[in-house]
Chain A
Amino acid sequence: MTGSQTKVDFSKIDEIITQCGGKKSNLIAILQKVQEVYRYLPEDAMIYIGTKMEGLSPATVFGVATFYAQFSLDPKGKYEIRCCDGTACHVRGSMPVLNAIRARLDLKDGKFTTDDGLFSLETVSCLGACGLAPVVMINDKVYPQMTSDAIKVVLDTILQEENK
């Protein structure tokens, strides 16, 4: 676990558990909702869910959270960058794009969230838009046919907006 942990509002988690019927079979849905709130799964939230819900334990919740790639145990950025490295994107040059993002945001040594918490970067296996390869998604917006130069422009634009 890296970085500092967000303070968890347990009444909010209680609400989510109730919404999901308090059933352990709905654990994935619960974790998804928690991740929507915090943009990742804070450790305290997992411990709380594992302690509070019948038939679960913190170790079990952690097991589910680490099994699925959709869950993040580290805080994600305000802008979640998903760089596709599926077969089509890979052969059309996703690696240079990925390296360009890392260089522009100064993400070294396996770090995947910027220090200011603005950006987080992950690779995904397919975004289902192979015709537009290589593809990058930032939050809900799709950026098709990226190059290392094009992605720099995209990032610069976002940074400019943020610095206004």
Chain B
Amino acid sequence: MSEDKKTLFIEGKEVEFTDEPNLLEVIRKAGMNVPTFCYRPDLTQFGACRMCVVEVEYPNGRVMVNSSCTMPPEAGIKVKINSQRVRKIRKTVLELLLTNHDRECTTCDKSGQCELQQYSEEYGVRKLKYPTLTKEEMMEIDDKNPSLVRDPNKCILCGACVRACSEFQGHSVLGFANRGSRTVVQPMNGRLLAEVDCVFCGQCQAVCPTGALTIKSDVDKVWDEINNKEKKVVVQIAPSVRVAIGEMFGLKPGENTIGKIYAALRRIGFDLVFDTNFSADLTITEEATEFVDRLTNKGLLPMFTSCCPAWVRYMETQHPDMLGHLSSCKSPEGMMSSVLKDLLPKHNEEYTEDNTVVVSIMPCTAKKYEAKRSQLRRNGKFDTDYVLTTKEFGRMIKEAGIDFENLEPEQADSPFGGYTGAGTIFGASGGVAEAAARTAYYYVTGENIPETDIKGMRGVDKNSRSKTVELDIKGTHVVVRVVSTLKEAEKAIQEIKNGTANFQLLEVMACPGGCINGGGQPFSCNDITIKEQRAEGLYKEDRELPVRLSHENPDIIRFYKEEYEKPGSHKSHEYLHTTYADMRKGSYKDLK
């Protein structure tokens, strides 16, 4: 990349640029803005929405209107970002989009966060010239899966979801179909998302500018349970929620609000508040034990992590022949729910098998799907009753009228509230492998790892989606591959299939950068630094915690002593481990 600084003019102001991929980035770096729908910095430029058009005057006097997201910056050009001409174009674009849009804004899940709504307001669109969408023209809404709702009547065909599905997950469950005015975005032949191999990662929804793809809300059901006097409702909260939810209340990304979260959960009315970080530590002791066992007893390697439900579903639908590589450990969320349903009724007389309701607050839309897995049931009852995403939880806080910013921090309830730094970094890509490596080192050598930070596994930006780290466990060499996005995971799988894989442990998180950038997190796709700030928030908490190794968590040590014997015990296997199923069978790809 060139180091020389070149300059161009934006609204008369001279602005330097170097290797920015497009004019839009130069405009935004200069502290100015143009509206966009289809542009997402983590995805390829598409130039579909035409909202980012600017007027460009070249040194030879030629004037052109062009979309700034697809135009490379050139030295000496004069750019007008808000001339009468481009404002008129944008307003026309908005009017045309609104003409084809279901404008039932007040009841839309995206209301208040919808970019179409925002720009229509900013550009003062008050009247539409053309006949608008009628009830008869409306297409059917797909809400037949636990995670996502697809409403084609709200789609503006920006293609962000199509690109996210293809560029992040390599999967292209969503695609364009038909042509011209009949174009739609849909799964193969208009099928339901539940009928195709959608993994419910929710990244399509995370980049959708409108309400065309939204999270299926369970908020009302959870309120009902909380208000039901017969029920005892307990809650667990995942690592990455603590560094993101503050964004919904004006706090900085990455600011750790866990104390306020505990307090807010009690105000909302949950009976007991636990932290999934505890069961992340539990997962590590189980998973490290399993890994060391596979390593020393010539078990099937490489072992794959199994915390990410989107990844597990990907394996079950795309590579059912390789399910043996997946760790049998449940996800931390699954372990916590299972333990709560098992132990609460045993130790607290107010809790019974019938009245205990477990709610999980997760950064993830696929967790809603995971909770409905038939393997995660006991005596016909699901371990996790409801999963709320960070966004839904934020909405509950607002609905309850809680002044989140000024809450006094509180503590989680014991005994499943204590956690270590290893548990908290689970939320970032590389965190699970790093936490597992710290504990595996101890299990193999009986000593703690000399350098607790394994920096090579960290990093959540676009260039860190695949990392390979070699560990020297006192002479035993272990190679760990850390990937985020299923596209990178697929590359690792192909390496195994063609015999070139050199790693023994594969950590996969389906969302780019890991759970901190999960589909259930607050809207953040226009700023790629947000996920880095969130990850830094987790690593900061890790650095500051007194205990940073899962196997040293006093609550975990006591848990095994009093309840489940030891990692990998019979009881552990009954409650903390799970099985997987070939889901290719009977699917639409099961062709005879």
Query: Does A51 interact with chain B (Cβ within 8 Å)?
Result: yes
Binding site for B on A (CB under 8 A): 1, 8, 10, 43-44, 46-48, 50-51, 56-60, 62-63, 66-68
| Nearest Cβ on chain B to A156's Cβ, whole angstroms | 36
A10 touches B179 (CB 8 A): no
Partner of A57 from B172, B176, B179, B189 at Cβ < 8 Å: B172
Can you identify 13 A-B contacts, CB atoms within 8 angstroms?
A1-B189, A46-B189, A47-B188, A50-B188, A57-B188, A58-B188, A59-B172, A59-B175, A60-B175, A62-B177, A62-B188, A67-B176, A67-B178
B588 touches A47 (CB 8 A): yes
Known: A58-B188, A59-B186, A59-B187. A44 touches B175 (CB 8 A): no
B186 touches A66 (CB 8 A): no
B589 touches A47 (CB 8 A): yes
B591 touches A47 (CB 8 A): yes
Q: Which residue of B lies closest to A7 (CB)?
A: B592
A57 touches B173 (CB 8 A): yes
Tell me the complex Cα distance, A67–B172, Å.
17
Chain B residues whose C-beta falls within 8 Å of the C-beta of A50 in the assembled complex: 188
Tell me the complex Cα distance, A63–B157, Å.
13
Tell me the complex Cα distance, A56–B196, Å.
14
Chain A residues whose C-beta falls within 8 Å of the C-beta of B591 in the assembled complex: 8, 10, 44, 47-48
Tell me the complex Cα distance, A1–B188, Å.
12
B155-179 interface with A by 8 A CB criterion: 166, 171-179
Known: A66-B177, A66-B178. A60 touches B172 (CB 8 A): yes
A57 touches B171 (CB 8 A): yes
Q: Which residue of B lies closest to A50 (CB)?
A: B188
Known: A47-B188, A50-B188, A62-B189. A57 touches B589 (CB 8 A): no
Most chain A CB inside 10 Å of its own CB: which residue of B173, B174, B176: B176
Q: Which residue of A lies closest to B176 (CB)?
A: A63
Interface size class of B (residues with CB under 8 A): 10 to 19
Chain B residues whose C-beta falls within 8 Å of the C-beta of A10 in the assembled complex: 591
Tell me the complex Cα distance, A138–B196, Å.
38
| Nearest Cβ on chain A to B54's Cβ, whole angstroms | 30
A63 touches B177 (CB 8 A): yes
Chain A's interface: helix, strand, loop or mixed, by majority?
helix
| Nearest Cβ on chain B to A136's Cβ, whole angstroms | 25
B235-289 interface with A by 8 A CB criterion: none
Tell me the complex Cα distance, A59–B186, Å.
8
Tell me the complex Cα distance, A62–B162, Å.
14
Q: Apart from A10-B591, A62-B175, A67-B177, list 7 A-B contacts with CB within 8 A.
A: A47-B588, A51-B589, A57-B171, A59-B173, A60-B175, A62-B177, A67-B176
Q: Which residue of B lies closest to A57 (CB)?
A: B172
| Nearest Cβ on chain B to A13's Cβ, whole angstroms | 10
Chain B residues whose C-beta falls within 8 Å of the C-beta of A46 in the assembled complex: 188-189
B188 touches A59 (CB 8 A): yes
A66 touches B179 (CB 8 A): yes
Chain A residues whose C-beta falls within 8 Å of the C-beta of B178 in the assembled complex: 66-67
| Nearest Cβ on chain B to A67's Cβ, whole angstroms | 5
A59 touches B589 (CB 8 A): no
Chain A residues whose C-beta falls within 8 Å of the C-beta of B189 in the assembled complex: 1, 43, 46, 58, 62
Q: Which residue of B lies closest to A48 (CB)?
A: B591
Tell me the complex Cα distance, A119–B173, Å.
35
Q: Beta-carbon contacts of B556-587 to A below 8 Å, as 1s and 0s?
A: 00000000000000000000000000000000
Tell me the complex Cα distance, A106–B63, Å.
57
Tell me the complex Cα distance, A46–B189, Å.
10
| Nearest Cβ on chain A to B402's Cβ, whole angstroms | 42
Tell me the complex Cα distance, A24–B589, Å.
19
| Nearest Cβ on chain B to A57's Cβ, whole angstroms | 4
Chain A residues whose C-beta falls within 8 Å of the C-beta of B166 in the assembled complex: 57, 60
A57 touches B175 (CB 8 A): yes
Tell me the complex Cα distance, A35–B179, Å.
20
| Nearest Cβ on chain B to A21's Cβ, whole angstroms | 20
Tell me the complex Cα distance, A9–B591, Å.
10
Tell me the complex Cα distance, A44–B588, Å.
9
Chain A residues whose C-beta falls within 8 Å of the C-beta of B588 in the assembled complex: 47, 58
Q: Which residue of B lies closest to A68 (CB)?
A: B179
Tell me the complex Cα distance, A24–B188, Å.
17
Known: A10-B591, A47-B589, A60-B172. A67 touches B179 (CB 8 A): yes
Tell me the complex Cα distance, A50–B588, Å.
12
Chain B residues whose C-beta falls within 8 Å of the C-beta of A57 in the assembled complex: 166, 171-173, 175, 188
| Nearest Cβ on chain A to B257's Cβ, whole angstroms | 39
Q: Which residue of B lies closest to A73 (CB)?
A: B189
Tell me the complex Cα distance, A57–B176, Å.
12
Tell me the complex Cα distance, A47–B191, Å.
12
A59 touches B179 (CB 8 A): no
Chain B residues whose C-beta falls within 8 Å of the C-beta of A43 in the assembled complex: 189
The 3 lowest CB-CB distance pairs between A and B, nearest first, are: A59-B175, A57-B172, A58-B188
Tell me the complex Cα distance, A58–B191, Å.
11
Chain B residues whose C-beta falls within 8 Å of the C-beta of A63 in the assembled complex: 175-177
Chain B residues whose C-beta falls within 8 Å of the C-beta of A8 in the assembled complex: 591
Chain A residues whose C-beta falls within 8 Å of the C-beta of B172 in the assembled complex: 56-57, 59-60
Tell me the complex Cα distance, A164–B187, Å.
46
Tell me the complex Cα distance, A60–B187, Å.
9
| Nearest Cβ on chain B to A25's Cβ, whole angstroms | 16
Chain B residues whose C-beta falls within 8 Å of the C-beta of A67 in the assembled complex: 176-179
| Nearest Cβ on chain A to B382's Cβ, whole angstroms | 31
| Nearest Cβ on chain B to A24's Cβ, whole angstroms | 11
| Nearest Cβ on chain A to B157's Cβ, whole angstroms | 12
Chain B residues whose C-beta falls within 8 Å of the C-beta of A58 in the assembled complex: 188-189, 196, 588-589
Q: Which residue of A lies closest to B188 (CB)?
A: A58
Q: Which residue of A lies closest to B318 (CB)?
A: A51
Tell me the complex Cα distance, A57–B589, Å.
11
| Nearest Cβ on chain A to B146's Cβ, whole angstroms | 21
Chain A residues whose C-beta falls within 8 Å of the C-beta of B176 in the assembled complex: 63, 67
Tell me the complex Cα distance, A44–B171, Å.
18
Q: Which residue of A lies closest to B172 (CB)?
A: A57
Q: Which residue of A lies closest to B171 (CB)?
A: A57
Chain B residues whose C-beta falls within 8 Å of the C-beta of A60 in the assembled complex: 166, 172, 175
| Nearest Cβ on chain B to A29's Cβ, whole angstroms | 19
Tell me the complex Cα distance, A57–B174, Å.
9
Chain B residues whose C-beta falls within 8 Å of the C-beta of A44 in the assembled complex: 591
Q: Beta-carbon contacts of B180-197 to A below 8 Å, as 1s and 0s?
A: 000000111100000010
| Nearest Cβ on chain B to A123's Cβ, whole angstroms | 16
| Nearest Cβ on chain A to B67's Cβ, whole angstroms | 22
Chain B residues whose C-beta falls within 8 Å of the C-beta of A47 in the assembled complex: 188, 588-589, 591
Most chain B CB inside 10 Å of its own CB: which residue of A47, A51, A59: A59
Tell me the complex Cα distance, A66–B176, Å.
9
